[in-house]
Amino acid sequence: MKKALKMISNIITAVLFINLILMAILVVSSKASGGEPQAFGYQLKTVLSGSMEPTFQTGSVIAVKPLSSEERKSLKKDDVITFQASEEKLITHRVIGVSSSGDHVMYETKGDNNKTADMEPVLSENVRAVYTGFTIPYVGYFIDFAQSKEGSAILLIVPGILLLGYAAFTIFQALRELDPKDKNTDTNEKTA
C-alpha cells in the first residue's frame, strides 16, 4: 500500500513540475518573440477564422517556418503561406497562382473555404512564413489565453502554488511518520 501511495505521489509531483516548466516555456517564449510562441525555429500560429477549413479548424495551432528573402521568391502553387495583410494582420492562405514582373514575385492566394481568391496579390516581401504540415486542433484557444496577462499569471502561479502546496503536504506527512517513532522511543526509555 505504501509503495502504491509513494508511486502516486511521485507521479503527481512529476506532472505538476512538468506542467509548471511547460507553462513557463510557453509564456516566456511567447513574450520573448513578441507574442508568437516559437519552438525549434518554427513559429506557432493560432488559426482565428474558418477560411482554411477543412485544412485547419478554427482554434487550431499550426507550425510555420519563417522564410528568408530568397525563399520568399521561390514559393509555388499549393504552398500554404502566412503573409502580412496589414500592419497588425497576418493571414494564412494557399497560393493558387504565381506571377513575376522583373525582380518582383506576386502570389495569388485563397482560403480553402473561401469561394473566391483574395482581392489583392501578395508581394513576396510580405510573405512571412510557409506552413510545415504540423497542426494541433483547438490548442490555439489555450495559447491565446496563455498570452493574455491573466492567462500568463494563472498558468504560472497556479501550478507553482500547487507544487509548493503538494511539497508542503509531503513534508508534513514525512514529519508525521517520524513523530510516532520518536514518541515510542521516549516511552520505552521512561519505562526502563
- Residue 122 within any structural domain of the chain: yes
More confident site: 110 or 102:
110
Q: Domain residues for 47?
A: 2-172
Query: Comparing 15-19, 70-74, 127-131, which segment has the lowest mean pLDDT?
Result: 15-19
Q: What is the pLDDT of residue 76?
A: 93
Query: Comparing 23-37, 94-108, 130-144, which segment has the lowest mean pLDDT?
Result: 23-37
Q: What is the pLDDT of residue 116?
A: 94
Is 138 a residue whose pLDDT tops 70?
A: yes
Helix then strand count (H, E) for the chain reads 4, 8
Is 186 a residue whose pLDDT tops 70?
A: no
Tell me if 17 sits within 8 A of 163, measured CB to CB.
Answer: yes
24-47 core/surface letters (b: 16 or more CB in 10 A; e: else): eebbeebeeeeebbeeeebbbbbb
- Residue 135 within any structural domain of the chain: yes
Tell me if 114 sits within 8 A of 54, measured CB to CB.
Answer: no
- Residue 134 within any structural domain of the chain: yes
Q: What is the pLDDT of residue 171?
A: 83
81-114 core/surface letters (b: 16 or more CB in 10 A; e: else): bbbeeeeeebbbbbbeebeeeeeebbbbbbbeeb
Is 110 a residue whose pLDDT tops 80?
A: yes
Provide the percentage of residues in the chain whose pLDDT is more than 70. 83
What does the pLDDT average to over 50-58?
A: 89
The letter for the amino acid at 107 is: Y
- Residue 44 within any structural domain of the chain: yes
Q: What is the pLDDT of residue 188?
A: 55
- Residue 144 within any structural domain of the chain: yes
CATH code of the domain in which 144 resides: 2.10.109.10
The partner residues of 110 in beta bridges, in order of sequence, read 94
86 is catalytic: no
- Residue 127 within any structural domain of the chain: yes
- Residue 177 within any structural domain of the chain: no
Tell me the three cell numbers of residue 132. Answer: 510545415
Q: How far apart are the first and last CA of the chain?
A: 34
The helix (H) or strand (E) run that includes residue 132 is strand 127-136
- Residue 182 within any structural domain of the chain: no
The partner residues of 109 in beta bridges, in order of sequence, read 95
The helix (H) or strand (E) run that includes residue 55 is none
- Kindly name the residue from 9, 29, 30, 49 that is annotated as catalytic: 49
Number of domains in the chain: 1
Tell me the three cell numbers of residue 50. Answer: 474558418
Q: How far is the C-alpha of 79 from the C-alpha of 161, rounded, in Å?
A: 45
pTM of model > 0.85: no
